[in-house]
Amino acid sequence: MKIVIVGYDKMFSSLILGTLESQNKIVGVFRHERVSIPPFLLFFKDIFAPGKDLSFLKSYNLREIKARSVNSNAFRREILKLNPDIILVGSWSEKFKKPIIDLPKIGTINCHPSLLPKYRGPNPYMRVIMNGEKETGVTFHLMDENLDTGPILLQKKIDIVQGFDGDTGETLKNKCCNLAKSAVCELLTSLNDDMIIPINQSKKEATYYPQISEKDILIDFSKSAFQINALIRALTPWQPAYIAHKNTFLKAGKIKFLENRTRIKQPAVILKKKGDILWITTGDNKIAKVCKVKLFGRFSFLFTPFYLRFCVKAGDVCK
C-alpha cells in the first residue's frame, strides 16, 4: 500500500518507522512545522537550525509535502498526485475537513494516544495521570469530521505506573509512541489482508478533555499528596505547576512529601519558609516541601527574593 504520513515529534517518527517495517511504501510526509512556522522563517530555520522532524525525514530520504495546511489546495493537489491508499495522522493541531479525509482509497486514519472513546482531546498523556488511571494505550481509528470520534480499527493497551515515582507525561508519551510503532505495523498488515472490521465508538462511554487551562496547573493543597504528585508528574516536563498566593502566583519546583507532625491540620497553610523553599500542608495531613519557588513573570529572578522574604509568611493560606 501507498501511505502518506502527517504529524510531528515522536508519534510522527514512530508511525514512519512502523510503516517502513511493515514493508508498505511511504509516498509522502507532511511535518507540522509547515503549518506552525511562516514559510520565510522556516526556510532559514531549515538551513541553520533544522528541527528533529526534518533531520529524521532526510535520514530516510522521504518525500516532503510542501503546503501551509492539510486543508489547503496545495495539500489536496499533492495527495491527488500521490494517490495514497491511506493517510496516517500522528499528532496534529488542525481539524481535517471532509474533502481531505475522503481522498485516500482506504481512508484517513488517526493514531490517538488513549483508549477511545475515553480521553478524547489534545492532552491524554497528562489527563490520564492526573486522574489516577491505571492503564491507557493507543487507538487507530478512521477519521471523520469530528475530533477522535471515528470507528476504531485497532487498539492496544499499556499500564500506567502511578505512585510518587511513577510515570510522567513524558515517559507515558514515550511508551505510547513506542507502542504505536509496533501497532501500526500490525494495522497495515491486517488492512492488506482485509482482516479489520471498524467498530463504532460508544457515545455512553465517551469522555472529552480540552486543552490544559490555567486552572489545571494550579496546585490545590486541599487535595491529597498523591493527587498533587500526580499533577506534577502529569505536567512534567512541559509545564510547571503553580501555587496561588494572595494576588499572585508562585512557580513550584521539585516537591517532596513529608509526614505532618505539627498541630496544624488545616490544608494549604504555609508552615514555614527558608529561602526559596516552602513547607505547605495538604488535604491528607501531609506536608509538601516545595523547592525552588519563583514568582510568575518575566522578571521573576529580580523580584522573587524580595517577595519571598517580605510577602510570604508562615500561616498564609495558599488559595
Residues 180 and 249 in one domain: no
In a domain, 303, yes or no: yes
| 3-class DSSP assignment, residue 43 | helix
DSSP 163: S
Question: In this structure, are residues 29 and 50 in contact, taking their beta carbons and an 8 Å threshold?
Answer: no
In a domain, 199, yes or no: no
Report the CATH number at residue 244.
3.10.25.10
User: How many C-beta atoms surround the C-beta of residue 133 within 10 A?
Assistant: 18
Name the domain boundary from 145, 177, 192. 192
Give 123-175 pLDDT, tens digit per residue.
999 999 999 999 999 999 999 999 999 999 999 999 999 999 999 999 999 99
In a domain, 123, yes or no: yes
Residues 237 and 180 in one domain: no
Residues 25 and 89 in one domain: yes
Residues 71 and 119 in one domain: yes
The boundaries of the domain holding residue 306 are: 215-310
Give 205-233 pLDDT, tens digit per residue.
999 999 999 999 999 999 999 999 999 99
Residues 148 and 259 in one domain: no
Residues 108 and 229 in one domain: no
In a domain, 69, yes or no: yes
User: How many C-beta atoms surround the C-beta of residue 241 within 10 A?
Assistant: 20
pTM above 0.75, yes or no: yes
User: How far, CA to CA in Å, does 229 sit from each of 166, 176, 280?
Assistant: 9, 21, 14
Residues 44 and 180 in one domain: yes
Give 260-316 pLDDT, tens digit per residue.
999 999 999 999 999 999 999 999 999 999 999 999 987 787 899 999 999 999 999
Q: Tell me which residue of 87, 93, 26 sits closest to 56, measured CA to CA.
A: 26
Report the CATH number at residue 141.
3.40.50.12230
Question: In this structure, are residues 53 and 31 in contact, taking their beta carbons and an 8 Å threshold?
Answer: yes
Residues 80 and 166 in one domain: yes
* In the predicted structure, residue 319 carries a pLDDT above the cut 90: no
In a domain, 39, yes or no: yes
Residues 18 and 157 in one domain: yes
In a domain, 111, yes or no: yes
User: How far, CA to CA in Å, does 27 sit from each of 53, 111, 239?
Assistant: 17, 19, 36
Helix boundaries (H) for 160-282 = 169-192, 225-235
In a domain, 207, yes or no: no
* In the predicted structure, residue 194 carries a pLDDT above the cut 80: no
pLDDT band of residue 195 (cuts 50, 70, 90) is confident
Percentage of the chain surpassing pLDDT 90? 95
Residues 140 and 8 in one domain: yes
Residues 241 and 285 in one domain: yes
Residues 72 and 220 in one domain: no
Total domains in the fold of the chain = 2
**What confidence score (pLDDT) does residue 306 get?**
93
pLDDT band of residue 19 (cuts 50, 70, 90) is very high
Which pairing describes strands 86-90 and 270-274: parallel, antiparallel, or unpaired?
unpaired
**Burial class of residue 236 in the structure, from the number of CB atoms within 10 Å of its CB (0-12 exposed, 13-18 middle, 19+ buried):** middle
In a domain, 238, yes or no: yes
